[in-house]
Amino acid sequence: MLTGGDPLTIERTLQLAIAPAFILTGAMAVLNLLSTRLQRLVDRQREVTDEAERSMVRRRIAATHGAMAACVLCAVAICVLVIVAFVEPVFGIGAGMHIVGLMLVAMLALTTALALFFWEVMRSGRDHGPGGR
Protein backbone atom coordinates (compact mmCIF):
# COMPACT_ATOMS: atom_id res chain seq x y z
CA MET A 1 0.00 0.00 0.00
CA LEU A 2 1.21 3.47 -0.91
CA THR A 3 2.07 5.77 1.92
CA GLY A 4 2.76 9.49 1.88
CA GLY A 5 6.49 8.94 2.43
CA ASP A 6 7.04 6.49 -0.39
CA PRO A 7 8.43 8.60 -3.25
CA LEU A 8 10.00 5.63 -5.06
CA THR A 9 6.62 3.95 -5.42
CA ILE A 10 5.06 7.19 -6.63
CA GLU A 11 7.88 7.69 -9.14
CA ARG A 12 7.59 4.11 -10.42
CA THR A 13 3.80 4.41 -10.73
CA LEU A 14 4.16 7.61 -12.77
CA GLN A 15 6.72 5.93 -15.05
CA LEU A 16 4.40 3.01 -15.67
CA ALA A 17 1.52 5.35 -16.47
CA ILE A 18 3.50 7.45 -18.94
CA ALA A 19 4.30 4.62 -21.37
CA PRO A 20 0.61 3.92 -22.14
CA ALA A 21 0.09 7.66 -22.59
CA PHE A 22 2.33 7.51 -25.66
CA ILE A 23 0.17 4.74 -27.10
CA LEU A 24 -2.89 6.85 -26.35
CA THR A 25 -1.34 9.78 -28.23
CA GLY A 26 -0.69 7.53 -31.23
CA ALA A 27 -4.23 6.14 -31.17
CA MET A 28 -5.64 9.68 -31.09
CA ALA A 29 -3.46 10.66 -34.06
CA VAL A 30 -4.80 7.66 -35.99
CA LEU A 31 -8.35 8.61 -34.98
CA ASN A 32 -7.77 12.15 -36.29
CA LEU A 33 -6.47 10.75 -39.58
CA LEU A 34 -9.47 8.42 -39.87
CA SER A 35 -11.88 11.27 -39.15
CA THR A 36 -10.40 13.30 -42.00
CA ARG A 37 -10.51 10.26 -44.26
CA LEU A 38 -14.16 9.66 -43.39
CA GLN A 39 -15.04 13.26 -44.19
CA ARG A 40 -13.49 12.93 -47.64
CA LEU A 41 -15.26 9.61 -48.24
CA VAL A 42 -18.63 11.11 -47.34
CA ASP A 43 -17.95 14.01 -49.71
CA ARG A 44 -16.99 11.50 -52.42
CA GLN A 45 -20.18 9.51 -51.83
CA ARG A 46 -22.25 12.64 -52.45
CA GLU A 47 -20.49 13.23 -55.79
CA VAL A 48 -20.69 9.69 -57.17
CA THR A 49 -23.56 8.83 -59.49
CA ASP A 50 -22.49 5.33 -60.58
CA GLU A 51 -24.13 2.76 -58.27
CA ALA A 52 -21.18 0.33 -58.37
CA GLU A 53 -18.75 3.04 -57.31
CA ARG A 54 -21.20 4.30 -54.70
CA SER A 55 -21.35 0.78 -53.25
CA MET A 56 -17.55 0.66 -53.01
CA VAL A 57 -17.46 4.04 -51.28
CA ARG A 58 -20.04 2.73 -48.79
CA ARG A 59 -17.79 -0.28 -48.04
CA ARG A 60 -14.83 2.04 -47.56
CA ILE A 61 -16.91 4.21 -45.21
CA ALA A 62 -17.89 1.10 -43.22
CA ALA A 63 -14.24 0.06 -42.93
CA THR A 64 -13.31 3.55 -41.76
CA HIS A 65 -16.11 3.51 -39.18
CA GLY A 66 -14.85 0.14 -37.94
CA ALA A 67 -11.31 1.46 -37.70
CA MET A 68 -12.53 4.48 -35.73
CA ALA A 69 -14.48 2.25 -33.33
CA ALA A 70 -11.39 0.09 -32.80
CA CYS A 71 -9.30 3.21 -32.12
CA VAL A 72 -11.78 4.40 -29.52
CA LEU A 73 -11.76 0.94 -27.89
CA CYS A 74 -7.95 1.12 -27.78
CA ALA A 75 -8.10 4.56 -26.15
CA VAL A 76 -10.64 3.44 -23.54
CA ALA A 77 -8.55 0.36 -22.70
CA ILE A 78 -5.45 2.52 -22.29
CA CYS A 79 -7.30 5.00 -20.06
CA VAL A 80 -8.60 2.18 -17.85
CA LEU A 81 -5.09 0.70 -17.78
CA VAL A 82 -3.65 3.99 -16.49
CA ILE A 83 -6.38 4.20 -13.84
CA VAL A 84 -5.69 0.61 -12.71
CA ALA A 85 -1.94 1.31 -12.68
CA PHE A 86 -2.54 4.18 -10.24
CA VAL A 87 -5.13 2.36 -8.12
CA GLU A 88 -2.96 -0.74 -7.68
CA PRO A 89 -0.23 0.76 -5.47
CA VAL A 90 -2.58 3.17 -3.68
CA PHE A 91 -4.95 0.47 -2.46
CA GLY A 92 -2.52 -2.44 -2.49
CA ILE A 93 -4.54 -4.34 -5.09
CA GLY A 94 -2.70 -6.91 -7.20
CA ALA A 95 -3.85 -6.00 -10.71
CA GLY A 96 -0.93 -7.32 -12.76
CA MET A 97 -2.97 -9.66 -14.96
CA HIS A 98 -5.67 -7.03 -15.41
CA ILE A 99 -3.05 -4.62 -16.73
CA VAL A 100 -1.75 -7.29 -19.11
CA GLY A 101 -5.29 -7.96 -20.32
CA LEU A 102 -6.01 -4.28 -20.86
CA MET A 103 -2.78 -3.84 -22.80
CA LEU A 104 -3.67 -6.83 -24.99
CA VAL A 105 -7.13 -5.40 -25.67
CA ALA A 106 -5.61 -2.03 -26.53
CA MET A 107 -3.02 -3.48 -28.88
CA LEU A 108 -5.50 -5.82 -30.59
CA ALA A 109 -7.90 -2.91 -31.08
CA LEU A 110 -5.15 -0.69 -32.49
CA THR A 111 -3.98 -3.49 -34.78
CA THR A 112 -7.56 -3.98 -35.99
CA ALA A 113 -7.90 -0.25 -36.65
CA LEU A 114 -4.68 -0.16 -38.64
CA ALA A 115 -5.63 -3.30 -40.60
CA LEU A 116 -9.00 -1.77 -41.57
CA PHE A 117 -7.27 1.47 -42.51
CA PHE A 118 -4.78 -0.50 -44.63
CA TRP A 119 -7.66 -2.24 -46.42
CA GLU A 120 -9.36 1.08 -47.08
CA VAL A 121 -6.16 2.67 -48.42
CA MET A 122 -5.47 -0.32 -50.66
CA ARG A 123 -9.06 -0.22 -51.92
CA SER A 124 -8.70 3.49 -52.62
CA GLY A 125 -5.51 2.93 -54.59
CA ARG A 126 -7.13 0.16 -56.59
CA ASP A 127 -10.14 2.32 -57.42
CA HIS A 128 -8.39 5.63 -58.13
CA GLY A 129 -4.69 4.92 -58.55
CA PRO A 130 -2.80 3.91 -61.68
CA GLY A 131 -4.95 1.44 -63.58
CA GLY A 132 -7.99 2.32 -61.44
CA ARG A 133 -11.12 4.13 -62.55
Give the pLDDT confidence of 91-121 residue by residue, as tens digits.
777 767 888 899 999 999 999 999 999 999 9
**Separation CA 72–CA 53 (nearest Å):** 29
**Residue 29 contacts residue 108 (beta carbons within 8 Å):** no
Q: What is the largest CA-CA distance in the chain?
A: 69
Q: What would the pLDDT profile of 15-51 be if each residue is shown by its tens digit?
A: 777 888 889 999 999 999 999 999 999 999 999 999 9
**Separation CA 88–CA 31 (nearest Å):** 29
**pLDDT bucket at 5, cuts 50 / 70 / 90:** low
Q: How far is CA 50 from CA 40, 47, 54, 56, in A?
A: 17, 9, 6, 10
Cα dihedral: 44, 47, 50, 56 (round 10): 10
**Residue 116 contacts residue 70 (beta carbons within 8 Å):** yes
**Separation CA 114–CA 97 (nearest Å):** 26
Which sequence spans correspond to the domains of the chain? 7-125
Q: What would the pLDDT profile of 50-97 be if each residue is shown by its tens digit?
A: 999 999 999 999 999 999 999 999 999 999 998 888 777 777 777 678
